[in-house]
A and B are shown apart, each in its own frame.
Chain A
Amino acid sequence: MQERQIMNQEDVRRALTRVAHEILEHNRGAEDLVIVGIHTGGVHLARRIAASLREFEGIDVPVATLDVSLYRDDLGVRTQAQTKLQQTDIPSGIQGKSVVLVDDVLYTGRTIRAAMDALVDFGRPQQIQLAILLDRGHRELPIRADYVGQNLPTAIGERVKVRLLETDGRDEVALMLEGIHAEEETDVAE
């Protein structure tokens, strides 16, 4: 399987640092922020962003995790392996907070739709913003990201693989060049 590297470890680090700065700038600080990572990739990125915020501002921003499986619109055409549930944990609550949703790849927008539906079951946030490591286009819903690590024009059907230090031992974003028999992707439907 051939692949083309889109972002290396340094690229990922710089992108996330910039996103963290933009979040601070946009929200004029980190008060009343909650960072919500979408399982699986988004959770790791959310923790890194929170760490940057702590570094820049000295504030501990609450990090929450969200599994959107129960809100998906494609249940029934997914395999059991894909529908495995993970922990949703929103210790701080989101009532009246500014929520920054974090995910690795933005594609059709369906995951983000599911995530927003899930979030509002936990309360009424002041606003919901979206931070994304890679935006590959091809939206099927009227959703756009507020903070983007990198834009990458892709073809429908191409596959993007995000590898993260926490799960794969290195940070890297790659475009899979041929075939569809790729190793399990973290975000097949997104």
Chain B
Amino acid sequence: MSLSRTIDTPEIEEALAAGTTIRKHVLDLDDFSREEIHDVMNSARSMKEVLGRDIKKVPALRGKVVVTLFYEASTRTRISFEEAGKVLSADVINMSASGSSTEKGESLLNTGLTIQAMGVDTIVIRHPHSGAPYLLAQELDTVNIINAGDGLHAHPTQALLDIYTVQDRLGGLEGKKIVIVGDVLHSRVARSDIWGFAKMGAKVVLSGPTTLMPPDLLLASNSIIQSTIGSLVEFDSDLDQAIEGADVVMALRLQQERQNAGFLPSLREYIRRWQVTDERLSRANPGALVMHPGPMNEGIEISNSIAHGGNSVIEDQVTNGVAVRMALLYHVTTGPTQLD
């Protein structure tokens, strides 16, 4: 099993020898180079042009079948992938855990094998357990896997659309200061964003309650972080200070049950210390972007006026999400197949 598919045409061998990556799966951002991220951004820009047409349909994935396999509730991500697949002319089948054989106790692996046996080309999977997409990638031979969010681990397509959005608005990420506020611990979006933003050269400052920061993330001995994105990530629990001179402020969803689990003394205290407000945003750079991966709790992690204010690019994120997912579906699903 590898991330690359088996290929055997001389043409493709040549390209491989020249260092071209042939991506079969999108499991995490950690194996994307900066160049590959740029490639995805370029393709996404072309896809955005397609989305702007009167006839939003291209035949690229005609005859391909994409299954969205969602073990968690989702609106935007699932619809975003469905639209992306359909604009590319793929047949998209949506499957959610409820109402499927999962309720009869079928294991993830057996569900995957069943879908593979039906000749499906690509599975887009969301699962509450970290690593679930890896299980499918390891055990299924012919299906491409795209991770649409797994446990606390990663949400690579969200991070790519966030990178796209920042790049589109600010012209690039190099040297930009991006503040991510809130529950990083339970946010796979934040984890992928940290990785992606830093990889693209942005300085990422995390802010929020110390109880909601992943342990060891910023440890000097964390060789995983140090060897890749190193000193570009910082933590500052004081949001007023962290937001100073920021180019982008991203608020994360705060789930209300975190209070019951003891991570927070009260929502009231959270709001007082970490809500993104007009007053706080005024400390950021003029024109700073306000982002949120959704769904929002307006009035908790973000004030109503900020969520819908002039700095908000939250709706851009949604639009760009379709284009980025088109680019990924296109690259993964049209990659060279094994030629027998």
Contacts and interface: CB of A to CB of B under 8 A. Distances in A.
A–B in direct contact per CB < 8 Å: yes
Interface string B35-54: 00001001101110110011
B26 to A, nearest CB: 13
A82 interface: yes
Interface stretch (A66-74, A153-161, A164-172): A66-74
Nearest to B42: A85
B49 A87 contact: yes
B330 interface: yes
Nearest to B9: A77
A3 interface: no
A122 B39 CA distance: 25
B146 to A, nearest CB: 15
Interface string B47-85: 101100111011110000000000000000000000000
Interface in B307-340: 327, 330-331, 334-337, 339
Contacts of B47: 85
Contacts of A75: 60, 334
Interface in A55-84: 67, 69-72, 75-84
Contacts of B43: 84-85
B60 A71 contact: yes
A27 interface: no
Contacts of A81: 15, 18, 20
A32 interface: no
Which of B10, B22, B43, B88 has most A Cβ within 10 Å? B43
Contacts of B20: 79-81
A70 B9 contact: no
A89 B335 contact: no
A99 to B, nearest CB: 16
Interface residues on B, range: 35 or more
Nearest to A77: B336
Given A69-B60, A70-B58, A71-B60, A84 B49 contact: no
B49 A80 contact: no
Nearest to B331: A80
B60 A188 contact: no
A117 interface: yes
Contacts of A87: 45-46, 49
A87 B39 CA distance: 13
Interface in B262-302: none
Given A70-B59, A70-B60, A85-B42, A79 B50 contact: no
A121 B53 CA distance: 8
B58 A79 contact: no
Given A82-B15, A87-B45, A70 B50 contact: yes
A140 B42 CA distance: 31
A60 B55 CA distance: 28
A147 to B, nearest CB: 28
Contact of A83 (B14, B45, B50, B334): B334
B335 to A, nearest CB: 6
Given A75-B60, A80-B15, A88-B50, 7 more contacts: A69-B60, A70-B330, A75-B334, A79-B336, A81-B15, A81-B18, A121-B53
12 contacts: A67-B46, A70-B59, A70-B60, A77-B339, A78-B11, A80-B39, A83-B334, A85-B47, A85-B327, A88-B50, A121-B53, A121-B58
